[in-house]
């Protein structure tokens, strides 16, 4: 099979900030119990049938990448739901939460367009090799709840994006709330088992990819993935401290400092590799396309610099117990952009 690199799913970041210092809680609509949406790996064994190849074997990761795209989309939808149920009470009857205004949802839902091709592409791969027995089955169970949630979020987006809620004095808000509230339970029940199973698959697949990159001397890709993995661990640590907090807490920096040291080492390795002409030549998209190669490289370089600035600022503010909400959001944005640029350059 053709060798293709693994795509990074979007990193799971904990909070959307509607107003300064307001942390959004996880969504548990529809009467369903709260799911563990932290993105932490789930300690369960891989199915026996799902056997990963050794780094020396040629591997086609297109199916894995398609499934990762679905996971990223679930995270995006979950963030939108978290925002919604911060402004609107998490109950069957429509009512605004205390101190909230419906217009606060405009920025979150403005012009949301579901990318149905993401699920359709994954479904097309679901019967192909390699076989992921658990993930394949869970994807099929997710299809309808995922579609229903996309429809509900799109309807709400249309209502908010064109100020229809102003024109009808929020007359349709209750109907849309019912649509969302009824979709959340089935969505959570199908989405989070799929995400958790993907995290199990991710661990093995990620180590496989890191081993391959090291064996092939692809230092830029190797250190980039290492940095993104460290950032994901930092996010998980922060989220574990934020998820039950009602206001912005001072962070326990013990593990974050250790991870930041690892980040600095990887960043030094990455910047050195990016200055090495031999390493640059190994990045196919930077050397093979006369028209776009400089653009790919410049965008990637900017993304790396933005991550370094954002993570440094976040650490400084977290250490001093300042309001780190904005720098944390910038950290999320910067790492997400680096993930996108990695996928553009290496996948």
**Partners of 88 in the beta sheet?**
96
Residue 111 and residue 13 share a domain? yes
Q: What percent of the chain has pLDDT over 70?
A: 82
Q: How far apart (Å, rounded) are the C-alpha atoms in residues 206 and 226?
A: 10
Highest mean pLDDT among 54-68, 228-242, 260-274, 326-340: 260-274
Residue where a domain terminates, one of 216, 232, 253: 216
Three-class secondary structure of residue 88 per DSSP: strand
Whether the pTM exceeds 0.85: the reply is no
CB burial of residue 151 (10 Å; 0-12, 13-18, 19+): middle
Query: Cα angle at 247 between 245 and 249, to 5 degrees?
Result: 70
Residue 179's pLDDT is what? Answer: 98
With a cut of 70, say whether residue 40 has pLDDT above it: no
Sign of CA dihedral 281, 282, 286, 290: positive
Residue where a domain terminates, one of 184, 216, 248: 216
Residue 329 and residue 195 share a domain? no
Residue 7's pLDDT is what? Answer: 54
Q: What is the pLDDT of residues 47-58, one digit of tens each?
A: 222 223 333 344
Residue 191 and residue 83 share a domain? yes
Q: What percent of the chain has pLDDT over 90?
A: 63
Residue 225 structural domain: 218-347
Query: Cα angle at 99 between 95 and 100, to 5 degrees?
Result: 60
Q: Is residue 205 within 8 Å of residue 52, measured between CB atoms? A: yes
Residue 171 and residue 55 share a domain? yes
Residue 294 and residue 241 share a domain? yes
Tokens found for residue 158: 């249309």
Residue 56 and residue 140 share a domain? yes
**Partners of 96 in the beta sheet?**
88
Residue 135 carries which DSSP code?
H
Q: What is the pLDDT of residues 169-205, one digit of tens each?
A: 999 999 999 999 999 999 999 999 999 999 899 887 8
Residue where a domain terminates, one of 165, 189, 216: 216
CB burial of residue 3 (10 Å; 0-12, 13-18, 19+): exposed
Sequence-distant (6+) residues with CB within 8 A of 116 are 147, 150
Question: How many folded domains does the chain comprise?
Answer: 2
């Amino acid at each position: 099979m053709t060798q293709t690199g693994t795509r990074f799913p979007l990193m799971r970041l904990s909070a959307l900030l509607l107003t300064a210092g307001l942390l959004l809680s996880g969504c548990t609509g529809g009467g369903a119990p709260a799911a563990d949406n932290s993105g932490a790996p789930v300690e369960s064994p891989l199915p026996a049938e799902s056997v990963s190849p050794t780094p020396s074997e040629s591997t086609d990761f297109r199916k894995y990448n398609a499934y990762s795209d679905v996971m990223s989309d679930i995270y995006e939808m979950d963030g939108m739901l978290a925002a919604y149920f911060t402004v609107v009470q998490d109950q069957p009857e429509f009512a605004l939460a205390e101190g909230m205004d419906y217009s606060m949802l405009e920025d979150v839902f403005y012009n949301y367009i579901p990318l149905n091709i993401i699920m359709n592409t994954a479904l097309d791969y679901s019967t192909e090799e390699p076989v992921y027995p658990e993930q394949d089955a869970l994807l099929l169970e997710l299809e309808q709840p995922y579609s229903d949630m996309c429809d509900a979020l799109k309807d709400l987006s249309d209502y908010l994006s064109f100020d229809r809620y102003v024109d009808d004095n929020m007359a349709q808000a209750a109907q849309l709330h019912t649509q969302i509230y009824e979709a959340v339970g089935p969505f959570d029940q199908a989405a989070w088992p799929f995400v958790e199973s993907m995290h199990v698959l991710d661990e093995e697949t990620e180590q496989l990819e890191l081993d391959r990159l090291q064996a092939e001397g692809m230092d830029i890709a190797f250190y980039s993935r290492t940095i993104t993995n460290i950032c994901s661990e930092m996010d998980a640590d922060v989220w574990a401290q934020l998820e039950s907090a009602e206001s912005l807490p001072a962070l326990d920096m013990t593990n974050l400092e250790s991870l930041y040291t690892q980040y600095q080492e990887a960043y030094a390795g990455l910047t050195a590799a990016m200055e090495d002409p031999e390493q640059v030549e190994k990045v196919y998209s930077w050397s093979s396309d006369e028209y776009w190669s400089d653009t790919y490289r410049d965008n990637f370089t900017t993304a790396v610099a933005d991550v370094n600035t954002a993570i440094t600022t976040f650490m400084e503010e977290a250490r001093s117990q300042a309001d780190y909400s904005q720098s944390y959001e910038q950290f999320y944005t910067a790492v997400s952009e680096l993930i996108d640029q990695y996928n553009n350059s290496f996948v």
